[in-house]
Amino acid sequence: MVTLAYAIFGLCFLVFFSIANAKYYHSQLKYFNVKDYGAVADDKRDNSQAFLRAWYDGCRWEGRSVIYIPYGTYKLREVSFEGPCNGMMIFVIKGVLKAPTHVSLFSTNTWIGFRYIDRLVVKGGGYLDGQGAAAWPYNDCSKNPKCMPLPVTMRFDFVTNSRIHHLRSINSKNSHINLFACDNVNISYVRLTAPDESPNTDGIHIGLSTNIKISRTVIQTGDDCIAMVTGSRNIEISNVTCGPGHGISIGSLGRTPGEVVTGINVRNCTFIGSQNGARIKTWAPSLSSVASDIFFGDIYMENVHNPILIDQQYCPTPSCSDQLDNSKVQISNVTFSNIWGTSSSKVAVTLKCSKLVPCKNVQLDNINLKYHGRGGPATSSCLNVIGDSYGRQSPPSCL
């Protein structure tokens, strides 16, 4: 009888524990639907406050919070979702978010921002419509030093251990996605689109961030598909399709002293009709900085104007044209490996380094780039480069 009593007690305890445990874990996940906070998907009224109230409650929840944006079209002014939060935040976009088009609302540098958050997920398959055509005429920074900043579609500042996936961004006013001071962020299955003539519409812009992974992404835009500027460290890029756009770029570097970009790996990518492919660029003149340990490999180029490019004479304005040999950015340990396809210009490989600090340990390994235009086969051009070439070299290596 005693044994039977213990058995019954044990069974009851197990059932009670299982039920309590299930209730506990269920309570950890809670949905915060923006419609419950007054959001209306009528493509007319501003929903910023409803979104922010949903975020505020979700951020205080002691568990996993799902900020849920259902199907429909929501107008949204600039919003900043800030932490730290009490638990994991999951931002699910099913509908379409539309940015403002009135010029009075272009003075901010961010449309949708996330700041000071650990364990953030942004996903859902929805659209971010930056409505950039209303703002692009105001992008005159190349001529106007007092130009106003245009809003980045989605900005992540001081965000860690997070994922962004299954999203579509169209017609950004500025960059589609900007990462600043982030660590351990994974971006995948996103599509970023803007016309090839749209100004400064970088796909993904990375600065002062570490351990960033970008994969399975399509970027068709008017500036760099991916740009990595100072403080970008340990960046892994794979299975990205770029074009139109200005390529996957490191830089520009050298505007301020002590800039560092290091540990960049770009693999298994495709460039179609882009202005550049694999590119490193530094200002001329520039201040002392470093770009090192960079790998571009297993890359297909289709009709790319500059498939392989190191440009230490980057000078988009006339003001620096008389000091083109004055870059002080040290570029070293750079490999271009197994890159093939077609170039839309005769010079398919350009390694134009600094006279003050020549590029060191640049490797060309199995390059096969064809040019079918006038003037004969593709060529390569080197200036102030120390390095080697291995395997097949078409065009013939200039190293």
Distance CA 85, CA 61 (A): 8
Burial 137-155 (b: 16+ CB within 10 A, else e): eebeeeeeeeeeebbbbbb
Question: What's the pLDDT at 43?
Answer: 95
- Would you state the structure tokens that stand for residue 134, as one six-digit string? 């209303």
pLDDT, tens digit (0-9, with 9 covering 90-100), for 170-180? 999 999 999 99
pLDDT at residue 22 greater than cutoff 50: no
| Dihedral class, residue 333 (left if φ above 0, else alpha if ψ from -120 to 50, else beta) | left
Task: Calculate the average pLDDT of the chain.
Answer: 92
Question: Per-residue pLDDT for 149 more than 90?
Answer: no
pLDDT-based confidence at residue 146 (cuts at 50, 70, 90):
confident
Local structure of 57: helix, strand or coil: helix
Residues forming a β-bridge with 157: 115, 180
Q: What is the pLDDT of residue 289?
A: 97
Residue among 223, 147, 129, 232 at smallest CA distance from 183: 232
Percent of the chain topping pLDDT 70:
91
For residue 117, count other CB atoms closer than 10 A to its CB. Answer: 23
For residues 182 and 207, give the distance between their C-alpha atoms in angstroms, rounded to a whole number: 8
Q: Which of 181, 211, 196 is nearest to 242 (CA)?
A: 196
Catalytic residue flag (residue 246): yes
CA distances from 95 to 37, 55, 98, 153, 162 (A): 16, 17, 10, 16, 21
pLDDT band at 147 (very low <50, low <70, confident <90, very high): confident
Q: How far apart are CA 331 and CA 48, in angstroms?
A: 45
Spatial CA neighbour of 119 closest among 38, 53, 206, 183? 183
| CA count, 13 A, side-chain hemisphere, 1 | 0
pLDDT tens-digit readout, 294-310: 999 999 999 999 999 99
pLDDT of 241:
98
CA atoms within 13 A on the CB side of 114: 24
pLDDT number for residue 379: 98
* pLDDT of 206 strictly over 90: yes
pLDDT score for 104: 86
pLDDT greater at residue 157 or residue 24: 157
Mean pLDDT to the nearest integer, 269-278: 98
Tell me which residue of 70, 15, 28 sits closest to 47, measured CA to CA. Answer: 70
Residue 23 burial by Cβ neighbours in a 10 Å radius (0-12, 13-18, 19+): exposed
**357 or 6: which leads in pLDDT:** 357
- Quick one: DSSP state of residue 46? B
Q: Which residues pair with 82 in a beta bridge?
A: 115
Q: Give residue for tokens 């999203």.
A: 167
pLDDT value of position 316? 76
| Catalytic residue selected from 102, 246, 305, 372 | 246
Q: Is the pLDDT of residue 285 over 70?
A: yes
Cα dihedral: 370, 373, 379, 381 (round 10): -120
pLDDT band at residue 54 using 50, 70 and 90 as cut-offs = very high
Least confident of 29-33, 93-97, 105-109, 329-333: 105-109
pLDDT of res. 107: 80
Residues 6+ apart with CB under 8 A from 137: none
Q: How many residues does the chain have?
A: 399
Taking the CA atoms of 187, 190, 196 and 201 in sequence, report the sign of the dihedral they define: negative
Across 93-104, average pLDDT:
95
Percent of the chain with pLDDT over 90: 84
Task: Indicate if the pLDDT at residue 8 is higher than 50.
Answer: no
Quick one: pLDDT band at residue 331, thresholds 50, 70, 90? Answer: very high
* Per-residue pLDDT tens over the stretch 62-88: 999 999 999 999 999 999 999 999 999
Q: What is the mean pLDDT of residues 368-389?
A: 95
Contact 274, 245 (CB under 8 A): yes
Q: Please, are residues 251 and 276 in contact by the beta-carbon 8 Å criterion?
A: no
User: Which tens digits make up the pLDDT trace of 241-256?
Assistant: 999 999 999 999 999 9
The yes-or-no verdict on residue 4 having pLDDT over 70 is no
Q: What is the pLDDT of residue 339?
A: 98
CA angle, 296 as apex, 236 and 384 as ends, to 5°? Answer: 130
pLDDT score at 273 = 98
How many Cβ atoms are within 10 Å of 6's Cβ, its own excluded?
10
For residue 191, pLDDT beyond 80: yes
Q: Where are the alpha helices (H) located in the chain, listed in sequence order?
A: 2-27, 48-60
Evaluated on CA atoms 317, 319, 322, 326, the torsion sign reads negative
Determine phi and psi for 52, rounding to 5 degrees: -70, -35
For residue 202, the SS3 value is coil
Mean pLDDT over residues 134-152, rounded?
A: 84
More confident residue, 14 or 53: 53
Measured CA to CA, the distance from residue 61 to residue 361 in angstroms comes to: 52
Identify the bridge partners of residue 385 per DSSP, sorted by sequence position.
359
Q: What is the mean pLDDT of residues 358-379?
A: 96
